[in-house]
Amino acid sequence: MIHSLFLVNASGDIFLEKHWKSVVSRSVCDYFFEAQERATEPENVPPVIPTPHHYLISVLRHRIYFVAVIQSEVPPLFVIEFLHRVVDTFQDYFGVCTEAAIKDNVVVVYELLEEMLDNGFPLATESNILKELIKPPTILRTMVNTITGSTNVGEQLPTGQLSVVPWRRTGVKYTNNEAYFDVVEEIDAIIDKSGSTITAEIQGVIDACVKLTGMPDLTLSFMNPRLLDDVSFHPCVRFKRWEAERILSFIPPDGNFRLLSYHVSSQNLVAIPVYVKHNISFREGSSQGRFDLTLGPKQTMGKAVESVLVSSQLPRGVLNANLNPSQGTYTFDPVTKMLTWDVGKINPQKLPSLKGTMSLQAGASKPDENPTINIQLKIQQMAISGLKVNRLDMYGEKYKPFKGIKYMTKAGKFQVRT
Amino acid sequence: MKVDEHQLCWYFYPTCFFPSELYISQCELYNDDMNEDLKEMLESNKESLKLEAMKRVVGLIAKGKNASELFPAVVKNVANKNIELKKLVYVYLVRYAEEQQDLALLSISTFQRALKDPNQFIRASALRVLSSIRVPIIVPIMMLAIKESAADMSPYVRKTSAHAIQKLYSLDPDQKEQLIEVIEKLLKDKSTLVAGSVVMAFEEVCPDRIDLIHKNYRKLCNLLVDVEEWGQVVIISMLTRYARTQFISPWKEGAMFDENNEKAFYDSESEEKKDQMEAKTYIMDPDHRLLLRNTKPLLQSRNTAVVMSVAQLYWHLAPKHEVTIVTKSLVRLLRSHREVQYIVLQNIATMSIQRKGMFEPFMKSFYVRSTDSTHIKTLKLEILTNLANEANISTILREFQTYVKSQDKAFAAATIQAIGRCATNISEVTDTCLNGLVLLLSNRDETVVAESVVVIKKLLQTQPTQHSEIIKHMAKLFDNITVPMARASILWLMGEYCERVPKIAPDVLRKMAKTFTAEEDIVKLQIVNLAAKLYLTNSKQTKLLTQYILNLGKYDQNYDIRDRTRFIRQLIVPSEKSGALNKYARRILLAPKPAPVLESAFKDRDRYQLGTLSHSLNTKASGYQELSDWPAVAPDQSVRNVEVIEPVKEWAPLVGKAKQRKSDEKFYSDEEEEKEEEGSDSSGSEDSSSSSSSSGEALCLFVCLKVYVFCLVTFILFRVTTPSFGPVKTYELLHHMTGKGLSAKYHFPRQPCLYQPSMVAVQVVLTNSSDHSLEEIHIGDRNPASLNLHCFNTIERLEPEASVTVSMGIDFSDSTQAANFQLCTKDDQFSVSIQPAVGELFMPITMTEQDFSKEQGKLLGMNETSETIAMATANTSSQAISKQVLSVANVGVVSSTQNDIHRFAGRTVSSGALVLVSLEMKESSSALLTINTEKSVMASMLLRDLKQALAQA
């Protein structure tokens, strides 16, 4: 399946290569570089590139291209999903997935890649199993290893590998038993010029951090499970019980994991938490443009809208922007024409605004289109769909765990057309 | 690599300047130095130094630098105890073994030893590395290792062996046949861990051997949910192919495009009737249904590849009305990473051409965001265009209007094409679209204008009537348009419809004549075209202009234009040479032309299986397996029936064989069924004599079965091995002459007894050689009366020439005393006796050599019997010895590291006393045979038997 993997950085250098079968010359990446040159943006490189003898499937994350070399027919999603899993694992191990981190830990990276694939077919991708095979590097462990000569590599087959619950290792012990669940919802929306909603939907996830001793069996139930329209589960969730009773029943993995992602049915009206008043205009023949933006809260159920960040790609003709924010700071990058305004918290009494002028290239004609405005925001302690967890129970172990549930709403792809 | 050295060299010698030659030698020196350093470190005694060196070597490999020189130094460390060091050496070996084949062979013995390690993890990793070394010489060793590992106790090792199959196949395709055997065996494996890997090996090695799947089909379907996610993808795509060859089409004739027809709403009643009628004719194979049912929950998987593969399975296999369940999940995947979106959108694009209805409710999910990357935008546009119909077109067009203004001009151009497609597909909006496009002609951006012109041209061609206004408008704009393609398109329109715009066309030609030399090639070609057409229709006004243009074209630099000019001149200008063709010039040039069809780029992608690389590239990728059409008539369904319910895999071969043989026979004895299955149906037996006891018996059987299962578990725990194979000796129980036609033979199947662990299993074959049927065959009195015997159930009737195999259990209490009993028919009684050979009173066990020695140490003195025996020369090889010993006694082979000592271990069946046999080879074909056991009588008898067997040739 996967023949080789090349890691390419933003400047087009191959800084790591790994082969699972015969060695493939790195010159195969030339086809990739060609495609890269042709693409105007880094994201525009096509994920699948055919070459005379191989196929290149790449993903771009953290400004690193992970280029897999394939020789014959294989579902492309298989490879893409796997590459993303590799990135997730690196992130898990090293905290960040950057060129520097990979280069610093090249041995661990190699050991990981060796375990994750055998002959190009995924072998162990579950982070719990990998962590038993290869312990993540920490400062303390590195020090101990240099002194005692012990290693990061486990000698035994991970217990999870053979059990019916491959995601959980046995013999987990904690002094404080805790289980935290974060319900995070994201609103994807497109708002048109006049402020009416063109499309809006809510996607949510439940991320868990479970640190419980032994083999706990948890059940989590919702007050209003009918809200969930389409769900996808971590493999630990028993699908039958969800089908029958709308209860999440599972033996959790140890540590952090994504329990569930869901989509709230499109029949429900989506509450839009902010509104935008905008007036962006360019006059024909003048080298000035007006920019006027005001944000206000809307349908937030009394919760504060925080960490608001507005960004907009201004037309190419704009040379500079001279704006005046009523709160927060703004930056304008004259090269990429990206305007970002870090607003912070919205105070309903005093609405934040950004006003001023834009200077245009002399003689350039008026841009046809007004820029789109992207908004990011956070609302704590509220799931905008109204989803509520009813209760969490634990079976199979005797102790009393500490349980916590947190709700949050964020803007996903929230765009306002102007 | 060079760069680094440069820098380093300059760093070391910053002030000097060397001539290039000297400089290179310095580099090499430095390179050698570094390798020397590493070599020294690798050869040092300190583990930490070695490890450090290996880490640096791996760093070199990762950067793609050549570290092959260090091979001898590295390979020495392959047997090192330090596991991390060992792993890094493995990494190195796998990378360079191909280049240094001879040296790589040095490491092989280490792996062979590790393959026998008690730690499954070590066994597995040894196999992994051994099979990854691509050295053709070791193919036989790999083959042997794969075969052995495929029968390993640990599923993890078996999984590894499935991976090794593919590696060996790519190294040496000649091994195919043998590998297929291993695949066949592994396909039977019940472990979820193995399933994915072995199917992968199947796909790689023998994807056409669909017959291997039959028996495992249901098992694979049932295991699917528990298989790891990557295996699921592979299994699902294999099963898709399988199902297309084995089941008949669930798609009703003519219902293919039902959803696109909007009539269903009004005459739904009649539709339903039709449905019912058709439902009667088509009944889905239960196995087909099983596959659909078991894959459905996987749509909820977090792995996008799994969801996609289930979606394609439903698309290719499910009845049309069931396919819609995948929609939501596919739309959900659009929230994932950019690359995932790209692939999923491609597949949706293909689906949405055939099945608009599937995605129409989710239309808004395909609205384009300014942050999407260009190829995502284009794909979304494609899908929106596919989804457009009379009802939603106005919404879609409004959305398109926003896109046209996008700053991403390539995307804006794609939108214009999409509008063109909507306009041709939905006649209601053609005029609106045309007007919109005409407005775009005054856009400031060239690409937008050019694209609009091209699209308008295509639209006008589809309905050329009453559009002279638009053509006039375009002629007016002509001066401002600079994009060659657009100019060429307008000129073509002028020429084609010159009779509709009789005044403007010659004027345009006049302008063109002025600028001819400055135009692009495609524009020039169209000018020549326009001139020719005008010459034919309006020669009075344009004759001179045409001549002028043709002259210009004659001396053009581009030979295409020169050729075209010459051709046109001959065609239209009458002269002596032009002859007959000239008469038809008008009909040739001004023939009505078919309108271009604007269709989706994804129109014909459905010839590829969805979700595949080939589909994504729209070309056939190497190794693509064609999805076959449904067979017209369903192939035999019974091939998937699995008759054998294997109690536990270890015993599978024997039970399977015995059972199949029986089922061939006319009489299928009830007892057999009962004890091998679960005995639940025994209460239904019709016979009066047995029915009174049958329920009690059923209970008893149930208990027995429990004991049996328990035994199996303990056997596995203590690693009691498979019964050793050997020729099965059959003994006569009753000759047909004495039995008045009833003859009986028995043999020891060497299986653990089903009824009680202390019993020895005996299989009796009863044959009726008489000319009349025998009734009520059963077991009568036994002698001694205390004999613990499990009888077979009464056989009601045995037809002439028929035979039946029954099993019974006898507790011999570890003695070779014969078991005497009476075999009765309805009319007669025959005394028979079963005299077991001493070797049949054992059960084999496995133990390690160390355990063997330890146990042997406990059984000395009185418990040891030994003798020097003469060996037949043919029996000196270890295989021959094992064969002979196993034929005599049911014991297990203990793997031995010494060549001249052979060890066997067993337990007595009744009391479970250990029996240890060791055979130490001496010179001149003699050997010392030692038996250690508490049962000294049995020991001496066994010694006698073995002595006899080994002396025979």
Q: Coil, strand, or helix at residue B764?
A: strand
> What residue type is assigned to position B194 of the chain?
V
Is there a contact between B163 and A365 if contact means CB atoms under 8 Å apart?
A: no
Mean per-residue pLDDT, A264-292: 80
The bridge status of strand A197-211 relative to strand A178-191 is: antiparallel
Residues of B in contact with A372 (CB under 8 A): 369-370
Q: What is the pLDDT of residue B570?
A: 83
Provide the whole-model pTM.
0.71
Of the candidates A103, A93, A70, the residue with the CA atom closest to the CA atom of residue A152: A93
CB-CB contact of B433 with B419 (8 Å): yes
Top residue of A4, A25, A51, A118 to mutate, by most chain B CBs within 10 Å, is A118
Phi-psi region of B240 (alpha: psi -120 to 50; beta: other; left: phi over 0): alpha
Q: Rounded to whole angstroms, how far apart are CA atoms B693 and B683? A: 9
The bridge status of strand A178-191 relative to strand A402-416 is: parallel
Q: Rounded to whole angstroms, how far apart are CA atoms A258 and A92? A: 13
Q: Rounded to whole angstroms, how far apart are CA atoms A142 and A152? A: 9
What parts of chain B have a pLDDT lower than 50?
A: 1-29, 254-279, 645-726
- Nearest-CB residue to A47 (from B342, B364, B374): B342
Is there a contact between A199 and B373 if contact means CB atoms under 8 Å apart?
A: no
Q: What is the pLDDT of residue B709?
A: 47
Asked if residue B784 has a cis previous peptide bond (ω within 30° of 0), the answer is yes
- Nearest-CB residue to A48 (from B305, B371, B616): B616
Is there a contact between A61 and B337 if contact means CB atoms under 8 Å apart?
A: yes
Top residue of A119, A155, A313 to mutate, by most chain B CBs within 10 Å, is A119
Burial class (CB in 10 A: 0-12, 13-18, 19+), B137: exposed
* Bridge partners, A409 (sequence order): A185, A379
Residue of A nearest to B345 (CA): A77
- Nearest-CB residue to A77 (from B308, B617, B624): B308
Count of beta carbons in the 10 Å neighbourhood of residue A30:
11
Is there a contact between B612 and A106 if contact means CB atoms under 8 Å apart?
A: no
Residue pairs between chains A and B whose CB atoms are closer than 8 Å = 243
**Nearest CA of chain B to the CA of A368: how many Å?**
6
Q: What is the pLDDT of residue B5?
A: 43
Q: Where are the alpha helices (DSSP H) in A185-266?
A: 239-245
Residues of B in contact with A121 (CB under 8 A): 163, 166, 197, 200, 230
Question: Between vectors from CA B159 to CA B157 and to CA B165, what angle results, nearest 5°?
Answer: 105
Evaluate if residue A259 carries a pLDDT over 60: yes
Q: What is the pLDDT of residue B19?
A: 42
pLDDT tens figures, A385-414: 888 999 899 988 888 889 999 999 999 889
Residue of A nearest to B301 (CA): A232
Phi-psi region of A414 (alpha: psi -120 to 50; beta: other; left: phi over 0): beta
Is there a contact between B371 and A80 if contact means CB atoms under 8 Å apart?
A: no
Q: What is the pLDDT of residue B26?
A: 43
Q: Where are the alpha helices (DSSP H) in B538-620?
A: 539-554, 559-572, 585-589, 613-617
Q: Rounded to whole angstroms, how far apart are CA atoms B938 and B814? A: 8
The number of CA neighbours under 13 Å toward the Cβ of B229 is 27
Residues of B in contact with A16 (CB under 8 A): 62-63
Is the model more confident about A85 or about B877?
A85
Count of beta carbons in the 10 Å neighbourhood of residue B632:
7
- Nearest-CB residue to B302 (from A58, A156, A234): A234
Residue of A nearest to B129 (CA): A118
Q: Rounded to whole angstroms, how far apart are CA atoms B324 and B355? A: 9
Is there a contact between A47 and B98 if contact means CB atoms under 8 Å apart?
A: no
Q: What is the pLDDT of residue A153?
A: 64
Task: Return mean pLDDT, chain A.
Answer: 86
pLDDT tens figures, A99-120: 999 988 888 898 899 889 888 8
- Nearest-CB residue to A73 (from B90, B406, B614): B614
Q: Which H or E run contains B690?
A: helix B688-717
Mean per-residue pLDDT, A137-154: 64
CB neighbour list of residue A155: distance below 8 Å, 6 or more residues apart: B83, B119, B121
Q: What is the pLDDT of residue B236?
A: 94
Q: What is the pLDDT of residue B670?
A: 39
A90-99, A355-364, B651-660: lowest mean pLDDT where? Answer: B651-660
Per-residue tokens: B828: 């007669």
Q: Coil, strand, or helix at residue B678?
A: coil
DSSP string, B509-536: HHHHHHHGGGS-HHHHHHHHHHHHHHHH
Evaluate if residue A126 carries a pLDDT over 50: yes
Q: Rounded to whole angstroms, how far apart are CA atoms A215 and B586? A: 88
Q: What is the pLDDT of residue A144?
A: 66
| φ, ψ at B482 (rounded to 5°) | -110, -20
Q: What is the pLDDT of residue B661?
A: 39
Is there a contact between A239 and B84 if contact means CB atoms under 8 Å apart?
A: no
Per-residue tokens: B933: 């056991």
Residue of B nearest to A47 (CA): B339
Residue of A nearest to B156 (CA): A162
Top residue of A62, A145, A232, A251 to mutate, by most chain B CBs within 10 Å, is A232
Residues of A in contact with B612 (CB under 8 A): 73, 75-76
Is there a contact between B91 and A110 if contact means CB atoms under 8 Å apart?
A: yes
Top residue of A61, A69, A77 to mutate, by most chain B CBs within 10 Å, is A77
DSSP state of A184: E
Top residue of B300, B400, B618 to mutate, by most chain A CBs within 10 Å, is B300
| φ, ψ at B760 (rounded to 5°) | -100, 135
Residue of A nearest to B120 (CA): A157
Residues of B in contact with A229 (CB under 8 A): 328
Evaluate if residue A26 carries a pLDDT over 80: yes
Residues of B in contact with A231 (CB under 8 A): 300
Is there a contact between B371 and A70 if contact means CB atoms under 8 Å apart?
A: no
* Bridge partners, A221 (sequence order): A247, A391
Phi-psi region of A348 (alpha: psi -120 to 50; beta: other; left: phi over 0): alpha
How far from chain centre, in Å, is Cα B489? 51
Domains for chain A: give ranges and CATH numbers.
2-148 (3.30.450.60), 178-270+384-416 (2.60.40.1170), 274-380 (2.60.40.1170)
Q: What is the pLDDT of residue B16?
A: 41
Q: Rounded to whole angstroms, how far apart are CA atoms A54 and B323? A: 33
> What residue type is assigned to position B497 of the chain?
Y
Is there a contact between A315 and B407 if contact means CB atoms under 8 Å apart?
A: yes
What order do you get walking across the sheet with B795-798 strand by strand?
B795-798, B774-783, B819-824, B829-834
Q: What is the pLDDT of residue B910?
A: 80
Confidence of residue A159 (pLDDT cuts 50, 70, 90): low
Is there a contact between A73 and B621 if contact means CB atoms under 8 Å apart?
A: yes
Is there a contact between A162 and B193 if contact means CB atoms under 8 Å apart?
A: yes
Q: What is the pLDDT of residue A142?
A: 65
Residues of A in contact with B166 (CB under 8 A): 119, 121
Residues of B in contact with A41 (CB under 8 A): 373-374
Is there a contact between B613 and A118 if contact means CB atoms under 8 Å apart?
A: no
Residues of A in contact with B101 (CB under 8 A): none
Residues of A in contact with B617 (CB under 8 A): 48, 50, 55
Q: Which H or E run contains B160?
A: helix B155-171
CB neighbour list of residue B948: distance below 8 Å, 6 or more residues apart: none
C-beta contacts of B134-141 below 8 A and 24+ residues apart: B134/A22, B134/B97, B134/B98, B134/B167, B134/B171, B135/B97, B135/B98, B135/B101, B135/B104, B135/B105, B136/B101, B136/B171, B136/B172, B137/B101, B137/B105, B138/B105, B138/B108, B139/B168, B139/B171, B139/B172, B139/B175, B141/B108, B141/B112
Q: Rounded to whole angstroms, how far apart are CA atoms A27 and A29? A: 5
CB neighbour list of residue A6: distance below 8 Å, 6 or more residues apart: A14, A16, A17, A26, A29, A66, A67, A69
